[in-house]
Each structure stands twice: as structure tokens, then as C-alpha cells.
Amino acid sequence: MTLGCKLNFAESSAIAQQFVKAGFREVSANESADIFVVNTCTVTEHSEKKCRNIIRKIHRRNPSAVIYVTGCYAELKREEIEKIEGVSAVFGQKEKGSILSKSVESIFPACSYGERTRSFLKVQDGCNYFCTYCAIPYARGRSRSVPMDVLLSQARKIASKGVKEIVLTGVNIGDYEGGLLPVLKELDKVEGIERYRISSIEPNLLTDEMIDWISTSKKFQPHFHIPLQSGSDTVLKRMRRRYDTALFRSKIEYIRKKMGDVFFGIDVIAGFPGETEEEFNEELHFIRSIKPAFLHIFPYSKREGTVAYKMEGHLPESVKTQRVKALEELSDELHAEYCNRFKGSVQKVLFEGKVTGNGSLMGGYTGNYIRVERPYNELSIGKIEEVVL
Ligand code: SF4
């Protein structure tokens, strides 16, 4: 069972592969099993609660099963998890790759093979940035990179399974040792992979040189996920982010100049400690002016051990909820505007499978990450087809 980010999904898939290699059989999440591995997340209080509930539910349904718990929450709050009834062992973040092998590696290479069409490939782990709200560097440690030769052989293996798209994942991918650009250039040459996306990259690490090269690649898609976190410079300072809104704007403008109307998904945190009404309005104004296609919105969540935890001016939940709502409305408006601009155009769509909850439809994404649904046709799954939107 996996909670949290794409990196966790890639790592869970690698753990499952280890088990299969050792002679176990993988079953789907709702079946009963002898061993369960729960890969946890610590990003918010809510995600930790969800992890605890899942562990309890597994134990209730499978009282004699072995339950291993790993991931970021397990790294930070081992004792809390050990106390939950049914938990057999807790493996911290650095021990994640050693659930079966017992060897602790400094970086656990991982990629997912679960889906037929899209794989998540872990490029990097950990972070040296210590933004004031974030507990991830404490859970995942300092930045480490998966060696290039390992990445290339994993990408070739993914291609050999017929997967067409790879999403590069990591905690702070732009911090790849020796630079990310050489990795992108080498991955671009892997035969069989037709599409790449970068799951998320810090704006200050997205260099003009990288943008120049991506704009010439036929495989890297016109889709960027860039964390903004706040559209107010004073809040960004308190978050200890390494850029200001002017730098963020210049990156967006440069990408548009080179690549046209690309899809920008940006992360924002609503209700950081001390965020005033003015600062929040500045943020809304800034986001409107740069017009991303989508906002990934997170209400600020107090994480023990971080600098922001001890800051003055923590906002009531009601204020955070209001701000999340205002950002959601803005995101819906921007997303509709973006999609409308492509109405009637011909786009290449990679169909991934049946739409959850409606088996008569199949769904997939265009290169610029517009979701498309069409009547189900088995022959289209895993293929890239031209569609009039
Ligand atoms: S860059 Fe900041 S937000 Fe991202 S993982 Fe590192 S510390 Fe956390």
C-alpha cells in the first residue's frame, strides 16, 4: 500500500519486484495476504493519520498477517508506529531497500512497472534545502543521485516492457549531482520510450540551458510542474525558498518564448504561518498574471522539527480552508481557460486504460497534459493516437 508522492510509488514498485524475485506473489490491495508493506508519507498531519488508519484496517482484516511499515512517516516517528497493533517491523527511509535484502544502500534505485503505459523512474532522493515548512529532508536525508548507468539500464528495461512514457521522479531532481541536463540528454536516446516528463523541479534549478535543450527534444513533453509555494515575496523569504516571484515569472516567460503554450502545474501552500490577507491577495494576483494551467494546493500543515513549527502567527483552520477554496476556484478557472485554448486542435494522446468507475470509457493525456476520454477500445491502450479535442 502506498501513500504520498510519485517517488513513493516508484519505490513501492521496486520493493514489490524484490518480493516477486524472492518467490512471493503480489496481490491487489484489497485481497488478503501473508505480508503487507505499507509505504507511508509524512507531508501533512492528514497523511500520517491516513497511514495509521490503513495499518489498523489491514490488521483488522488480516489479524495474522505480517505488516511491515516503511517510508517518511516511519523514518520520523518510528516509535509511534511501533505502538500500533499488528505492526511487525518498521523500516526507516534509508532501510527501505533492505526489507528483504538487509543491505542498507545510500540510495535505493526504483522504478514502477505496474502500468502498461507510464513508469515512474527515481532519479534522485533527499534534499539539502531545508525550506522552513518541510520535514522531507529530515525523513529522506541529504541529496543523493541514482548513477546515470543505473538510470539508463532501468529506462531500457522499462522500454522493453512496452511502456511508452517515463516520469522522472525525485525529491529535488534539479539537484542531481553533476547536473540534470546530461541525464535528460542520455535518457532521450533510449529507444522505445516516446515521452518523458519531469515530475517536479525547483524554479531556481531549471536553467535556461535546460529549457533550451528541452525545447528541441521530441520526447520531453510541453508540461512543467514547478513548485511556487507562495506568490508573495515576503512569504517566500519566510519559507526560505531560493527564488522570488520575479525569478519565477522569468522562467515561465522564457519557457513560453521557447516552447509556446505549455502546461504549467504549480504547487502552492495556503495559510503559511503569518500569511496576511495582503500577502494572500498578492499571491492570487501573481498567479493570475502568470496564468498556470493548474494549481496543486496544500493547506499548510504543522510539521514537528521544522523552523515554521515554532513560528508565530499560525492561522486558524477556518482561514486556511477559505484560502484553499479561493485557490481551488482560481485553479478551476485557469484550467478551463487552458483546455479551451486547445479545443478543436489535433493532439497526440497516450491512452492508459479504462476510466475508474466507467468501464465504457478509456482515458489518457495529451503531451501537454490535457486529460482526454474516449469510448473504450482495447487496441488503443498503450498507444499514442491523434485525437481532435
Ligand atoms: S526543496 Fe524545500 S520543499 Fe522541496 S523537499 Fe527540499 S526542503 Fe522540502
In tens, the pLDDT along 27-78 reads: 987 888 999 999 999 988 889 999 999 999 999 999 999 999 999 999 899 9
pTM for the model: 0.90
Pocket, ligand 1, Cβ cutoff 6 A: 127, 129-131, 134, 136-137, 171-172, 202
The protein residue with its alpha carbon nearest to ligand 1, atom 1, reads 129
Q: Which long-range contacts (CB under 8 A, 24 or more apart) does 19-27 make?
A: 19/100, 22/100
Q: How many helical (H) and strand (E) elements, i.e. helices and strands, does the chain have?
A: 12, 15
Identify which of 7, 129, 132, 144 to mutate to test ligand 1's pocket (most ligand atoms within 8 A of the CB). Answer: 129
pLDDT at 107 over 90: no
**Residues 73-91 pLDDT 10s:** 998 999 999 999 999 999 9
The CATH architecture that domain 224-341 belongs to is 2-Layer Sandwich (3.30)
Atom number, ligand 1, closest to the C-alpha of residue 128? 6
Q: Which of 131, 175, 235, 240 to mutate to test the pocket of ligand 1 (most atoms within 8 A of CB)?
A: 131
Write the CATH number of the domain with boundaries 6-98.
Answer: 3.40.50
User: Rounded distance, CA 154 to CA 17, Å?
Assistant: 13
- Render pLDDT for 306-327 as a digit per residue (tens, 0 to 9): 999 999 999 999 999 999 999 9
The kind and range of the H/E element at 269 are: strand 263-270
Fold identical between 106-221 and 224-341?
yes
Q: Given pLDDT bands bounded at 50, 70 and 90, which one contains residue 94?
A: confident
Residue 111's pLDDT band (boundaries 50, 70, 90)?
confident
Domain spans in the chain, listed from the N-terminal domain onward: 6-98, 106-221, 224-341, 346-388
Residue among 41, 136, 300 whose CB has most ligand 1 atoms within 8 A, to mutate = 136
Kindly tell me if the per-residue pLDDT of 233 is higher than 80: yes
* Distance (Å, whole) CA 248 – CA 296: 16
* Beta bridge partners of residue 358, listed in sequence order: 355
State the CATH architecture for 106-221: 2-Layer Sandwich (3.30)
Average pLDDT over residues 94-117: 69
